[in-house]
Amino acid sequence: MDTPSASTPPKGKKTINDFPKPTRQHIINCGFPEWYKLYRSITGRARVIPFTQGFLDYLNEDGIVLPDENPNPQSNDTDSGIFSSATTNDDDDDEDEYEDPSYRFAEFHATVRAAITQLGGAVYPKLNWSAPKDAGFIIGNVLKCTSASDVYLLLKSSNFITHDLEHAFDDTDDGPDMGGNVLKQEDIQYALVLRKWVEVITSVEFRVFVKGRKLVCVTQRDMNYYDFLEEGKVEFMALIEEFFEKYLEKTFPDDDFVFDVYIPKTIVTESRVWLVDINPFAIRTDPLTFSWTEILNMDPNEEGFEPEFRLIGRNDPEAYGFAGAQYSAHKLPQEVVDAGNAGPASIGEFARNWKEIVQQLEGAGLEDSSSNEEEEEGEIKDEDEGEDDGGVKLDKKTDAP
Ligand SMILES: Nc1ncnc2c1ncn2[C@@H]1O[C@H](COP(=O)(O)OP(=O)(O)OP(=O)(O)O)[C@@H](O)[C@H]1O
Ligand SMILES: [Mg+2]
């Protein structure tokens, strides 16, 4: 295979330094609130709740104080077992007063609570671009939230969310757009996105790369080996190409982009393609089994060009989990992880000891280093939603588990 080395690339081959910076408008176009307007019918059910200043201030605040999910006006007992700025100490007579932070964004909070109920009681949260995947360990390693407090706890604990809030325009082209405007951080309308929880079968998730409005390559997303994928390759590729041509090819505002799809088997004889996310055609998007240099050198206009569908092979190191723990660079030390893993009772305990833990970590120089829904498994939305008119189906059985 032609593998150019970074120092001396063969003549005419692009290196990572040739990667053009994405425009700020492209970053906005890849934000959920933006693309959801175009592709509502081909993705799962969701609610987009625009931020209020009160909620943004709350997210930016230090410390984690959560709303009381079961406010009891009769009681003055502040020890509800949730995170509180007060360090509860049984020997201490004078407890600090707990102040429910949601009073400062009451309308937003009520909308979040209502959305969770409307979406069936469990949601997957994210902001415009990122989900708090690095914080999932706190509530048991999944991002399944059944209360507003679950959502806020994840958002406030996640470095990925901080990145969305503070660094969305990092490494972008800061020139004016076609209208002569330079988008600034303040121009971003942030929103909380709540997606109906789905028990996703990750083996049938794929990432698709588009250059010049042409599909150039596809990779599986779950970096494990699945033999059924090899057998179903041709069918999966046909479904993805059909989906791209039908829904995205002519409608997405940019010529280059990356989209994620989910292709579960909904009934025994049918697979259906769902749009999961749209990502910038930029270094910040993980190319998974490809490298960006490879993708940069793909030319869909070359004669005989065929998009490559790459899977993890049986003997690839990734298939044996040698690649390192996911999000490990963003995780907290083991004692914090242990507290999160031990279940709700320990989370309460952990909350009460939060300040103490942080102080200990600081003392040791270890402070934060970076400072399928309740319906059918695999199904992505209610049949009765009325939004369910999109998607590409193939009357062929796939070997999805
Ligand atoms: N509604 C949902 N319910 C359960 N899991 C979901 C849901 N939506 C997405 N997921 C899972 O979370 C993964 C990441 O979702 P998403 O792409 O929205 O987050 P992200 O922060 O953009 O992640 P990435 O950087 O990997 O693209 C999906 O591939 C899927 O496995
Ligand atoms: Mg994504």
DSSP state for residue 245 in the 8-state scheme: I
Q: Residues in the chain with pLDDT < 70?
A: 1-10, 71-96, 266-269, 319-401
Which pLDDT tens digit goes with each residue over 303-314?
999 999 999 998
Q: Which of 150, 274, 276 for a ligand 1 pocket mutation test, highest count of atoms within 8 Å of Cβ?
A: 276
DSSP state for residue 104 in the 8-state scheme: G
Ligand 1 center from residue 303 Cα (angstroms): 36
- Ligand found nearest the CA of 125: 1
**How many Å apart are CA 393 and CA 239, to the nearest integer?**
7
- Predicted structure pTM score: 0.79
Ligand 2 center from residue 207 Cα (angstroms): 9
Which pLDDT tens digit goes with each residue over 233-269?
999 999 999 999 999 999 999 999 999 999 997 655 5
Closest Cα to atom 25 of ligand 1? 130
Q: Where are the alpha helices (DSSP H) in 266-313?
A: 292-296
pLDDT of residue 270: 77
Residue 102 Cβ < 6 Å to ligand 1: no
pLDDT of residue 366: 40
pLDDT of residue 97: 81
pLDDT of residue 69: 83
Residues by chain with Cβ below 5 Å of ion ligand 2 = 277
DSSP state for residue 248 in the 8-state scheme: I
Ligand 2 center from residue 326 Cα (angstroms): 15
pLDDT of residue 80: 39
- Ligand found nearest the CA of 203: 1
The region that residue 24 occupies, defined by phi over 0 for left and psi between -120 and 50 for alpha, beta otherwise, is: alpha
**Three-class SS of 310-343:** ECCCCCCHHHHCCCCCCCHHHCCCHHHHHHHHCC
